[in-house]
Each structure stands twice: as C-alpha cells, then as structure tokens.
Amino acid sequence: MSLKHWIALAAVVSGCVSSHTARAEWRLEKPIAIYVGPDARGSLLADMNGDGLLDIVTQYGMFNLWKCGVSVTLQTPDGFSWPATYEIDDCHFEQLALANITPDPGLEIVMRTSFNHPDWSYRMLEYRADTNTLVHVENFGFLGWGIGFGVLDVNQDRRDDLWEVFEDSDSSKPEVTFRYKIAYARANDRLPDGKKSVGWLRGYTSARFAFSGITDQRGMTATSKAAVSQYQVDLDADGYFDAFSGLCPTKCLFRQEPWGQLRTMPTVGETANVFGDIDGDGLPDALLGGRDADGFTIEVALQTAPYHFEHVGTLTPFLRVGMPAIVDMDLNGLADFAFGGENGPGTGAMFVYRQIEPGVFQGSALIDAGWPLFAARAGDLNNDGCPDLLTANELMADHNHMNLYRGVGCEVGDLAVTTDVRANKAVVSVAHVRGTKALALRTMRVNISPAVKDPTPLGFQVRPPEGCVERPADVPRRMFDCVFDMAAGTTREFVFNLSMAAGKEAQVHTIAFLLDEGGDGNPLNNRSRVDAYWRHVTGSADTVPTGIRR
C-alpha cells in the first residue's frame, strides 16, 4: 500500500478522532486484577506449562527490601494460579526475556542482575510445572556494558543465543566504535538436576565496528519500562528474525543471514521500540516515543521499503505514555494501537486506536484503568479467539498486580501455517482452523534458502507451484508469494520441487509465514520452519532431504 493512502492518518491520530462508526459489538471489558508479585514491572506472555493457555511471566521488585525477582502466574480453566517466584537481592528491572536455549521443550527465563550486584551476571531460570517452581540452572558472566540484551538464534542452530551491543571506542581515535557479544547456546546434554553453571552458554566478542546511517535521537526514553531493551523482528519480511539494540547512537539494526551471521544495516528515517504491520503491506511498521510542546507523543512511521521508514502521524498529547502494542483487536483485518497513558494529573487510561478503514483510526479510552503505564502486551489469554491486553499499573498501591482487559465481540478467525519435506519437495500448508468466515485473498511468503553465502556451485533450483510468484531477494534466498483464498475448515497445500547439481549437498531452510496477519486471532501459529540437508543422489534425478529438523 502506498503512502498516499495514509494521508488521513496524520489528521486522525493527532487528536481529530474519526466520525466513522466502529463495530459496536467489539469492546474491552473493565480490567481484572491478577496478583503476580510485589511491585510488578514488565511482563511477557507465553505458554509455560504446555497446556495451550498463555501464562504471565513478570519481573517485580521490592524497593523496601532491595530485592527483585521473577514470577510465573499460570492460567487455568478456572482463572489464574498463585505465582511461582524466584527472588534475589538485586537485579536489573528491565532485563527479562524468554528463550529456547536448552533441549527441554519449555522456555527458559533469562534475567540480568544489576551493575552493582556482587554476582553481576545473567541468570537462567527454568519453570518446573510438576512442582510449580522456578529453578536457577545457570549463571553466565556479563556480556558487555550495553543497555540491554537480546535473544536471537544467531548461528541458525534452532537454539536461542543471547547478544548485546556496547560502546568500546579507541581513546586514541575520535571515531565512536562498538562491539557486540554473543552467548551461544551449547548443544550438550543436560547435567543432573540441582547443578548450577551447567554450561549451556559460551561467549564470543566481535571486533570493533563503527555504525552509521542512523540519525533519529528520540527512542522510547520518555516512556515507561519495557520488559527488554533490545528487540527481534523480521524487519525485511524475509523469514529470518533481525535484531535491534539501543545504541549506535540510537538503534543498531543487525540483519540475520541464512549462513548464521549477523550483518549491520543502516536504517533510513525513524527507528522504534515497537514494530507491527500497520498498513498491511507485509513490512513491519514502527511506533516510537517523542515530545512536543504539549507533552509526550507516540510517533507513527511506515516502512515503505525494507529499512526505510517515513513518518506519517502522531498520537498526542499525553503527560506520560507506556509502551504500546500493535494488534488487530477486533480482527477486522486492520491493525490497531493500544497503550496505557496519563492524560491528566493523576488520571490514567488504557487507550485504544482502532483502524476502522485503511488509514482511518477511531480513538477510545478506558478512564477507570488507573495508571497502566508499563508495556502493554496483547494475546488471547482466555482462548476465546479475541485478543486481550495486559499491563501493570503505575499506581504504587496497585503495584502487586497486572490489569487484564478482555476483548469481546471480535470477528474470530485463525489460520495455521506448517512446513514439511518429502522426497524432493518442500511442502507448505495453511489451514483455516478457527472461525466461520470465509477469507478473501491472503498472501503467504515462502523463503527457501541454502545456508551458504554463495549457492552458485550447488546448482540449486526451485520450481514453485501454481499461484506462487517469485519475488526479488538477496542471495541465497529464493522468495515466493503465494496468494490464496479459503473457506472455513479447509486446508491449502503448496508444493515446491527442489533440485541440486550432481554430488552437491547443503542445508536448506524452508520458512513460511503469513505476510498479512490482520484478522488472525492467533499470530503464534502464522509462521513455520523446517530445516534439512538436501543432497543429490548419484545416478538419480532426485535430490532428497536428510537430517530433517522441524
């Protein structure tokens, strides 16, 4: 979608709320208070015990005792459980992440202790569902002197790694330079329970590098706490997650390459803390914090081409604003904004800007929401098909709980993407698994990439199925967009034929994801990947997969 379709946005979100009538049946219910621990801060949503329901992972602090910790609050069919907790004397409030580091099926929790802690390090915790406890399984020494760490599978081994960017300039030179550190996940076996420092992580430090091309100085420093300070997002929509850091001097972008390396990339225009596809073109757009003469603002920037952002509008004014979420709340196929903020002295609200037509937003506020100034998280917590919102409350008296705002009356729908390999074929399927509404044309992007810098010697060929058109892509990527429509309860399958030259073999990634997620109530199943070693069989016309990893 071109930028001209978004001329209405700047006027609408600058305070002139649209006169269009939104769907009356959709609404956010009044918040439900969920106890998660004293002085609740940032939160994350994930299924921690494998029952299919999203649970709440929270970082909290106890200022009077100089302690902080992490809690896991399970969702049950009857509500929420009493949280499992892990506490230490001091930690870094904004440093919390979920990662898949060990071979265990569950997610690990990574937190960082503060700079003045005697055991300054990263701590890895595991949640044990059978005992409802959090167990400390490893300490890993600090990465760098950066402002935050990120989680990303840097070397493409399907295990998450930790990484951080920090300034490290040569004092004899005027140039400002940086390094990044990576803690790679090891592929060793688990040691017996109860052992700490089991060696799941090993370190790497880069050479110095200079970063250029970024001019935006704002960032989200004027807003409240986020759960993490670095972010991963598939910024160029090629199937590989990219990463951001809050330095260099504002944001470093590291592009993920199929051969297992990060590459620095300059961005043009805005950079941000929150990403999501606002205009439905498949490229994540950006929200970032700013200020004007009247107070704090949230700036809206569209990514009009990979790594190129253009400012199109402003949400204003607020005394303070929290980290927003970009989510299609009513599932009408158009992305919305939601965030907590302070709109008057001592008065807070949960603000929702619904996109009722392309580029036309309707604003509303839940005035009785207290001060929900921490990061807003979106997800279908009660599994009814409608996205919900979760945020902590800034008001000190209410710091021990999260506010849950349930979404009601959305247009329920869900597509699920899966990938597989068989014989000399990569197979991608998409199923209409929830909802009764037939879907108009949707687009699924398929990236089939050998994990090498130069695929020329492989003689690698891909023959796409009917309905899938190849798009320009950087080597070694082969990128295809498959356009389809679907009736409720049906499945579509797309088969790609692969081949290599005689005697050649290579690992090949097949990654498929919905390019337009609007109208889908469960984005967690919109992306799938399968890796396999493909080799040409001598004396045969076939190229077959081995070492399949789903």
The pLDDT tens digits along the chain (550 residues) read: 333 344 344 434 433 333 333 444 888 888 888 888 777 777 889 999 989 899 999 887 765 556 778 899 999 888 898 899 988 876 665 578 898 888 777 889 988 776 565 556 788 899 998 899 999 888 777 666 555 677 888 888 888 888 777 777 777 877 777 777 777 776 544 444 444 334 667 777 777 777 543 333 223 222 223 333 345 789 899 999 987 765 554 556 778 889 888 777 766 554 456 888 999 999 999 887 777 777 778 888 899 988 888 888 888 778 778 778 899 999 998 999 888 877 777 677 788 899 999 888 888 877 565 665 667 889 999 889 999 998 877 654 455 678 889 999 998 989 999 999 988 899 999 999 998 877 778 899 999 999 999 999 999 999 999 999 999 999 999 999 999 998 889 999 999 999 998 888 999 999 999 998 778 888 889 999 999 988 876 666 566 777 788 7
User: Of 531, 6, 12, 16, which Cα lies nearest the Cα of 311?
Assistant: 6
pLDDT of residue 180: 75
Residue 6 has φ and ψ, to the nearest 5°, of -110, 15
Alpha-carbon distance of 274 to 337, in angstroms, equals 11
SS3 26: coil
Q: What is the DSSP letter of 64?
A: G
CB atoms within 10 A of CB 187: 11
pLDDT of residue 205: 78
Calculate ∠ Cα 392-397-401, nearest 5°.
35
Cα of 19 vs its chain's centroid, Å: 33
| Structure-block tokens of residue 168 | 């490290």
Length of the chain: 550
* 288, 289, 292, 297: CA torsion to nearest 10: 90
| Structure-block tokens of residue 256 | 């993920």
Alpha-carbon distance of 17 to 522, in angstroms, equals 29
Q: What is the DSSP letter of 397?
A: G
Contacts of 546 (CB under 8 A, 6+ apart): 532, 533, 534, 535
- Produce one character per residue of 118-133: b if its CB has 16 or more CB atoms within 10 Å, e if not: eeebbbbbbbeeeeee
CB of 216 closer than 8 Å to CB of 251: yes
pLDDT of residue 233: 84
Alpha-carbon distance of 510 to 499, in angstroms, equals 14
My answer on whether omega of the bond before 249 falls inside 30° of 0, hence cis, is yes
- The one-letter code for the residue type at 20 is H
CB of 316 closer than 8 Å to CB of 299: no
User: Of 217, 182, 219, which Cα lies nearest the Cα of 201?
Assistant: 182
pLDDT of residue 79: 87
CB of 509 closer than 8 Å to CB of 495: no
SS3 196: coil
CB atoms within 10 A of CB 481: 16
* Environment class of 521 (CB within 10 Å of its CB; exposed 0-12, middle 13-18, buried 19+): buried
Q: Which residues pair with 361 in a beta bridge?
A: 355
**Would the pTM count as exceeding 0.75?**
yes
Alpha-carbon distance of 455 to 452, in angstroms, equals 6
Q: Which residues pair with 340 in a beta bridge?
A: 350
CB of 421 closer than 8 Å to CB of 530: yes
pLDDT of residue 9: 47
| Structure-block tokens of residue 248 | 């260099």
CB atoms within 10 A of CB 7: 11
Handedness of CA 317, 302, 154, 544 (dihedral sign): positive
105's torsion region: left (phi>0), alpha (psi -120 to 50) or beta? Answer: alpha
SS3 457: helix
Alpha-carbon distance of 176 to 165, in angstroms, equals 13
| Structure-block tokens of residue 253 | 């972008």
Calculate ∠ Cα 123-126-127, nearest 5°.
135
Q: Taking the CA of residue 403 as centre, how many other CA atoms within 13 Å lie in the half-sphere pointing to its CB?
A: 27
User: Of 475, 411, 412, 468, which Cα lies nearest the Cα of 444?
Assistant: 468
Q: What DSSP string describes 164-220? A: EEEE---TTSSS--EEEEEEEEP--PPPPTT-S----EEEEEPPPB---S-----TT
Contacts of 434 (CB under 8 A, 6+ apart): 385, 412, 413, 414, 521, 522
Alpha-carbon distance of 345 to 486, in angstroms, equals 50
Alpha-carbon distance of 497 to 461, in angstroms, equals 8
SS3 355: strand
User: Of 142, 135, 137, 154, which Cα lies nearest the Cα of 95?
Assistant: 142
Alpha-carbon distance of 515 to 446, in angstroms, equals 9
CB of 329 closer than 8 Å to CB of 336: yes
Q: Given the structure tokens 């769907």, which residue do they identify?
A: 23
pLDDT of residue 417: 97
Cα of 46 vs its chain's centroid, Å: 12
Q: Where are the beta strands (DSSP E) in 16-160?
A: 27-28, 32-35, 40-46, 55-62, 67-73, 75-76, 79-80, 84-88, 96-99, 108-112, 121-128, 133-141, 150-152
**Region 414-549: CATH code:** 2.60.40.10
